[in-house]
Structure 1
Amino acid sequence: MEQGWDEHQALASRSRAALLDVLRANGGAMGVDELAESVGLHVNTTREHLDRLVSAGLVSRAPEHRTTRGRPRILYRHREPEGARVRNVIDGVLLAGYGHAMASPSATAELAGRQAAGDLIPEGLLERARTPQEARRILVTELERLGFAPRDEGDGLRLCRCPVESLARERSEVVCAAHLGMTSALVERIGQLEVLDATPFIDGESCIVRLRPTRVIEEGTAQVPGEGTAQVQGA
């Protein structure tokens, strides 16, 4: 997984937590001078803290749009962390299973992940593919939006970040099964591909979900595997 500032590290500082609170309460974009005054810090110190919050994905920054001459200010605003929707789904999966006896936690989590896929990407907001290559592109785009940081490596797609990595390492039989269910449901909705299997943390860092193209023999009949396979690596 990519190394960088995560949410917990970024909020370990009271000053950074205070800056985030100000941005949340404001709801809009703010300049560094305004933020520094709000929390009682020097502008340079404030800028360093904001850099950490941006690195953790808790704050976004962009140049101010100006209609007059002059160097535009850099404005900051609060943003929902990448992968927040995935974390919410996993929390729901874990809470739903708490206190209930089940024959297979992994199978139950995979089913729950499938059912939660519609909450992540509602019907009508997921593009339908016409070719396996297009399906791969759509899947990469959606996984990026969900916070997995996919990277195309030619022979596969590497997911460089897991929104719930620490939890996945502790309870991979539940978390990774839920991820598999979510991914399988999304792949089926996109079309042209099918999930073969998944291996979590195969190299200690990334997981592999194997995919292969599907093709329709005749209209109204089931799809059967096409020739060749493609690999998607990730958490």
Structure 2
Amino acid sequence: MGRDEAIAAIGALADPVRRRLYEYVATCDQPVGREPAAEALGIPVHSARFHLDRLVEEGLLEADYQRLSGRSGPGAGRPAKVYRRAAGEVSVSVPARGYDLVGRVFAAAVERSLDGAPLAESLAEEARAVGRSDGAGLGTSRSEDELRRTAQVLGERGYEPTRTGDTLVLHNCPFDALAREHTALVCGVNHDYVSGVIEGLGCCHARAHLDPAEGRCCVLISHEQ
């Protein structure tokens, strides 16, 4: 789910009835039909149907059809539409944060270290690998300007890039809370990730540099001849 879709999904829960329906379905052990949900909340069935289907549209619930009687075959009745909480996770932060990304890097590096690989090297390699994957997967045509392409990928990750001449300034650190407590470690991972993005994009002149400053990401990207 992209950021725009996540914001819309969270916004759907602003309605108090819709939020109560979501919480009710989420806490049930089995998929829930419209009638039981309406009865549990004390609302009309048509209202429950509207809100439940809206939650499905926003990706917060999943819908299926089941025979609630438990019977099958002739005379068992038509299957009813039932709802369950969606498997995916929805989160929004302002400014954007990416703790899931750094968590993936740390977890993969620790697994490698348990097999005997040096932890520092594993962190660097895993961060670059994730960056290369993002660069290759989200990048645009290689005929476009390298800094513009890099900005597109990092913008998707919440870095809030702005170009100033031949330099790309990243106004937001997606790992801000971790970076404040473990600066050297997280900034190193950040630098390796951004370098991996540049490699994944196939850039020949863009370079990532560690250049910590207050109020922005510790990495700058420059275009070098």
> Which TM-score applies when normalising by structure 2?
0.51
Could you tell me which amino acid in structure 1 is paired with residue 102 of structure 2? Answer: I
Deviation at 1:113, TM superposition (A): 0.6
Map residues 1-150 of structure 1 onto 2, 5 A cutoff: 23=9, 30=12, 35-39=15-19, 80-81=91-92, 86-98=98-110, 100=114, 105=120, 107-121=121-135, 123=136, 125-130=138-143, 134-150=145-161
Secondary structure class of the residue paired with 1:175: helix
Deviation at 1:153, TM superposition (A): 3.6
In the alignment, the residues of structure 1 paired with residue 143 and residue 181 of structure 2 have an alpha-carbon distance, to the nearest angstrom, of: 38
Could you tell me which amino acid in structure 1 is paired with residue 149 of structure 2? Answer: I
**Structure number with larger C-alpha Rg:** 2
Deviations along 1:174-231, one digit per CA (max 9) or x if unpaired, are: 32222212211221232232425313x3336442324333xxxxxxxxxxxx2xxxxx
Q: 1:160 to 1:205 in 2, by over 3 A?
A: closer
In the alignment, the residues of structure 1 paired with residue 205 and residue 166 of structure 2 have an alpha-carbon distance, to the nearest angstrom, of: 15
Compute the RMSD of aligned alpha carbons. 3.5
**Unpaired segments ≥5 residues, structure 2:** 1-5, 21-56, 61-89
The answer to which structure has the higher helix fraction is 2
Would you say the 8 A contact 1:128–1:189 is kept in 2? no
Tell me which residue corresponds to 2:195.
Answer: 184
Could you tell me which amino acid in structure 2 is paired with residue 115 of structure 1? Answer: A
The answer to which structure has the higher strand fraction is 1
Aligned residues: 146
Q: 1:115 to 1:184 in 2, by over 3 A?
A: same
Tell me which residue corresponds to 1:222.
Answer: none
Q: 1:184 to 1:120 in 2, by over 3 A?
A: same
**Unpaired segments ≥5 residues, structure 1:** 1-19, 41-75, 214-225, 227-235
In the alignment, the residues of structure 1 paired with residue 124 and residue 172 of structure 2 have an alpha-carbon distance, to the nearest angstrom, of: 20
In the alignment, the residues of structure 1 paired with residue 221 and residue 132 of structure 2 have an alpha-carbon distance, to the nearest angstrom, of: 22
1:197 to 179, 199, 209: 209
2:178 to 167, 172, 177: 167
In the alignment, the residues of structure 2 paired with residue 185 and residue 208 of structure 1 have an alpha-carbon distance, to the nearest angstrom, of: 13
Secondary structure class of the residue paired with 1:161: coil
